Amino acid sequence: MYQTPLPLEYASLGEDETRARIRAAKERLGERVVILGHHYQRDEIIEHADYRGDSYKLAKDAGAHAQAEFIIFCGVHFMAESADILTPDHQQVILPNLAAGCSMADMANNFQVQSCWKQLQAITDVSKIIPVTYINSAANLKAFVGERGGTVCTSTNAPAAVRWALAQGEKVLFFPDQHLGRNTGVRLGYDPLVDMVLWDPFKPLGGNTAEAIQRANFILWKGHCSVHKRFTVEQIEKARRTYPGVRVIVHPECELEVVQASDENGSTEYILRQATEAASGSVLAIGTEINLVNRLAKENPDKTIFCLDPQICPCSTMYRIHPSFLLWILEGIEAGEVRNVVRVPDNIAEPARVALRQMLKVL
């Protein structure tokens, strides 16, 4: 979807006026709108959110406000699509900036996944392969999974979702994040060198031999998160040298060796809970998006909380949700002009809903 340029009257507003007008518009709209803010959003967006969470929590929160006409999703495109699929038809889901996508989600598209499936069909019994897509994927890939008896997973429920999938079949096709897939498989006791193959969508058979695929339990799509890929073992070693006794917690979208060098790994909600519940005086080095880590540090002044990579940039696509876009959306609704509605067509939404509901069942 294409984002039209923000009108100059919004783009040129100062921070204080934007904030004041967002508050006023939200107040006037009352229960007609609910604003959801992903943890990786900047503080200037989070301060207006009725709910904050990771993609799993927000997918559930989106369904809890049946009276709201508009759900304004301050996150990225695949999250708004999931919210639209899970909410009733009378609710409209809005993404304030349609250019807010996810580079990881873009690493697997419908054409590539269909082609992968056809190639697998030629060398193995695909009825024994259960597709599992990370929630960070387009709606048509969730539909692909729903049509084939698979499930969506999140970083919160990935181990349970993969365990469930392996109980339905013999193999899992996991996309688009190879790291979450690999870390989950290792957590469940599988050997990354023996039980897993990597599927490169630009190579025949994903760059594997038919025998290797036939032997494997996990076919991992060659995708990654550009934010979490930046964390390294060297950063962890440096943090341990600088702060002996530091507790290192990383997100499972990080590479396997980083996860193995950490003390714990878990979803964004898990990281948030650990930081909040840690004893006063604790020192925590975190491997996830910088906006969240800085917020945790600010909200827990009695602890030392820092990002493993101080140079890390924020998730650049999340960052496209600027407060000016939020204001443009809210004032548009007041004026009767509903902008940036994300609507998934029924033929995609129905099978995708099957896979998303399966995700909500598995914990």
Contacting positions for ligand SF4 (CB under 6 A): 40, 76, 102-104, 136, 225-227, 289, 315, 317-318
Are 137 and 176 contacting, i.e. CB atoms less than 8 angstroms apart? yes
Residue with Cβ nearer ligand SF4 (321 or 330):
321
Residue with Cβ nearer ligand SF4 (77 or 353):
77
Q: Report the nearest approach of ligand SF4 to the CB of residue 58 (Å).
A: 12
Of 288, 150, 139, nearest to 219 (Cα)? Answer: 150
Q: Report the nearest approach of ligand SF4 to the CB of residue 270 (Å).
A: 15
171-175 and 92-94: which strand pairing? Answer: unpaired
CA distances from 304 to 40, 280, 293, 298, 360 (A): 20, 9, 11, 10, 34
Residue with Cβ nearer ligand SF4 (136 or 140):
136
Q: Report the nearest approach of ligand SF4 to the CB of residue 179 (Å).
A: 10
Residue with Cβ nearer ligand SF4 (25 or 98):
98
Residue with Cβ nearer ligand SF4 (42 or 171):
42
Two structure tokens written together for 309: 């990579």
Q: Report the nearest approach of ligand SF4 to the CB of residue 60 (Å).
A: 18
3-state secondary structure of 273: helix
CA distance 323 to 39: 15
- Which DSSP category does 91 fall into? -
Of 27, 37, 32, nearest to 74 (Cα)? Answer: 37
Q: Which residues contact 311 (CB under 8 A, 6 or more apart)?
A: none
Residue with Cβ nearer ligand SF4 (190 or 325):
325
Residue with Cβ nearer ligand SF4 (29 or 100):
100
Q: Report the nearest approach of ligand SF4 to the CB of residue 314 (Å).
A: 9
Cα distance between the two ends of the chain: 33
Which neighbouring-strand residues pair with 285? Answer: 248, 306
Of 334, 313, 307, nearest to 251 (Cα)? Answer: 307
Q: Report the nearest approach of ligand SF4 to the CB of residue 228 (Å).
A: 6
196-199 and 171-175: which strand pairing? Answer: unpaired
Q: Report the nearest approach of ligand SF4 to the CB of residue 210 (Å).
A: 31
Q: What is the maximum alpha-carbon separation in the chain?
A: 63
Q: Report the nearest approach of ligand SF4 to the CB of residue 159 (Å).
A: 18
**Exposed (0-12), middle (13-18) or buried (19+): which is 84, by Cβ within 10 Å?**
buried
Two structure tokens written together for 304: 């030392």
Are 278 and 256 contacting, i.e. CB atoms less than 8 angstroms apart? no
CA distances from 112 to 92, 93, 107, 203 (A): 30, 28, 9, 11
Residue with Cβ nearer ligand SF4 (235 or 317):
317
Residue with Cβ nearer ligand SF4 (1 or 20):
1
Sign of CA pseudo-dihedral 246, 249, 255, 256 = positive
Q: Report the nearest approach of ligand SF4 to the CB of residue 40 (Å).
A: 6
